[in-house]
Chains A and B, each alone.
Chain A
Amino acid sequence: MTGDPGIEAAETPDLTGRIVIVGAGHAGGSAAALLRQYGWTGRITLIGEEPLAPYQRPPLSKAWLKGEADGDSLALRPPGFYTEQSITLCLSTGVAGVNTAARMVTLDSGEAVAYDHLILAVGAAARKLTVPGAELAGVLELRTAADAELLKRALGPGKRLAVIGGGYVGLEAAASARALGAEAVVIEREPRVLARVACEALSSFFQDYHTQKGVSFEVDAQVQGFTGANGTVTGVALGDGRTLPCDVALVGIGALPHESLARLAGCACNHGIVVDGATRTSVPGIYAIGDCTQRPLPLYGISGRLESVPNALEQARQVAALLCGRPVPAPETPWFWSDQYDLKLQIAGIPHQAVTRILRGDPAQAKFAVFHLDADNRVQAVEAINAPAEFMAGRLLVGNRKPVAPEKLRDMSVSMKEVAA
Chain B
Amino acid sequence: MAKIIFIEHSGATHEVEAKTGLSVMEAAVKNNVPGIDADCGGACACATCHVYVDPAWLDKTGKPSAMEESMLDFAEGVESNSRLSCQIKVSDALDGLTVRLPESQH
Contact = CB atoms under 8 A, between A and B. Distances in A.
Contact of B74 (A332, A339, A392): A392
Contacts of B73: 389, 392, 417
Interface residues of B, number: 23
A339 B31 CA distance: 27
B74 A313 contact: no
A189 interface: no
B104 to A, nearest CB: 9
A130 B106 CA distance: 42
A18 interface: no
Contact of B39 (A76, A309, A396, A417): A309
A33 B34 CA distance: 10
Contacts of B70: 388-389, 392
A59 interface: yes
Interface stretch (A42-50, A77-85, A158-166, A168-176): A77-85
B13 interface: no
B56 interface: no
Interface size class of A (residues with CB under 8 A): 20 to 34
Interface in A387-410: 388-389, 392-393, 395-396
B18 to A, nearest CB: 11
A313 B39 contact: yes
A407 B31 CA distance: 47
Contacts of A335: 46
Contacts of A357: none
B32 A337 contact: no
Interface string B30-55: 11101001011101111100000000
Given A309-B39, A389-B74, 15 more contacts: A1-B106, A58-B41, A77-B30, A309-B40, A309-B41, A310-B39, A329-B106, A332-B106, A335-B46, A344-B67, A346-B45, A388-B44, A392-B71, A392-B74, A395-B74
Interface of A: 1, 33, 36-37, 56, 58-59, 73, 76-78, 81, 85, 309-310, 313, 329, 332, 335, 337, 339, 344, 346, 388-389, 392-393, 395-396, 416-417, 420
**3 closest A-B pairs (Cβ-Cβ)?**
A392-B74, A388-B70, A337-B45
